[in-house]
Structure formats: structure tokens, C-alpha cells
């Protein structure tokens, strides 16, 4: 599980660096595409980690990954709020992440 979590964090870091490079160079389309990938990755961070780790102990991996995903979701909400805290963005992004993680947790609970 730790290896999968580190790989997922590595992907996030790479995407984050790319979005900075694209923004600094005025590459708007590339920036938008990478920003979308970052959003999808953060909201689905736990399920992506489980996919990388395999389904053995999926719920435990998902729950531990959510501990990492939650601060990333708050950071994403802050970015969507134009680098300021905004309640709609925070509720939307953190809520979406929570819903995705809870849905997968419930799914894997029923599969056990």
C-alpha cells in the first residue's frame, strides 16, 4: 500500500509541477488540461491508490489514502477560490472527495 501511495503522490507532484510550468509560460490549454487531471486525481485519490495497490485490503488502503486526500482537497478548494477560502468551493471539492471515498468504501464493504 505504501508503494502505491507514494506512486500516487509522485503523479500528483508531477502534475502540480507541470501546471506551474504551463501557467508560467502562458500555455493556457495545457494548464487547463493538467488542472482538470489534478482535480480528478485529488477527488479520486483513494480509489486510484487502491487501483495501484490491488484490491487486497482495499478499504484499509482507501481509508489511509483519504487521510492524504483530505488536505489535498482543501488545497484544491483554495486554488479554485482564487487562492482564498471560499465556502462554495470548499464544500464542492471536499464534499466531492468525501462522497467518492464513501461510495467506494461502501462498495468494497458490500463486496467483502
- The 10s digit of each residue's pLDDT in 42-97 is 999 999 999 999 888 899 999 999 999 999 999 999 999 999 999 999 999 999 99
Q: What are the Cα distances from residue 40, in Å, to 3, 57, 68, 72, 110? A: 21, 23, 15, 12, 25
Which ranges constitute the DSSP H helices of 2-86? 2-24, 28-43, 45-53, 58-80
Give long-range contacts, CB 8 A cutoff, 24+ apart: 76-79: 76/38, 76/39, 76/42
What integer pLDDT is reported at residue 54 of this predicted model?
Answer: 85
Q: What are the Cα distances from residue 77, in Å, to 39, 70, 95, 96, 97? A: 10, 11, 10, 11, 11
What integer pLDDT is reported at residue 96 of this predicted model?
Answer: 97
The per-residue pLDDT for range 1-57, each reduced to its tens digit, is 889 999 999 999 999 999 999 999 999 999 999 999 999 999 999 999 999 998 888
pTM, two decimal places:
0.90
Alpha-carbon gap, residue 97 to 105, rounded angstroms: 12
With cut-offs at 50, 70 and 90, classify the pLDDT of residue 112: low
Alpha-carbon gap, residue 25 to 23, rounded angstroms: 5
Whose CA is closest to 16, among 37, 2, 47, 1? 37
What integer pLDDT is reported at residue 23 of this predicted model?
Answer: 96
With cut-offs at 50, 70 and 90, classify the pLDDT of residue 109: confident
Domain positions in the chain: 2-111
Amino acid at each position: 500500500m505504501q508503494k502505491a501511495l507514494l506512486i500516487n503522490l509522485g503523479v500528483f507532484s508531477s502534475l502540480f509541477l507541470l501546471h506551474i510550468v504551463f501557467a508560467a509560460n502562458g500555455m493556457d490549454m495545457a494548464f487547463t488540461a493538467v488542472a482538470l487531471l489534478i482535480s480528478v486525481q485529488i477527488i479520486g485519490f483513494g480509489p486510484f491508490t487502491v487501483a495501484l495497490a490491488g484490491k487486497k485490503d482495499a478499504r484499509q488502503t482507501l481509508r489511509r489514502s483519504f487521510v492524504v486526500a483530505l488536505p489535498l482537497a482543501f488545497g484544491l478548494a483554495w486554488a479554485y477560490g482564487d487562492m482564498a477560502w471560499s465556502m462554495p468551493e470548499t464544500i464542492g471539492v471536499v464534499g466531492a472527495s468525501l462522497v467518492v471515498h464513501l461510495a467506494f468504501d461502501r462498495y468494497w464493504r458490500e463486496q467483502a
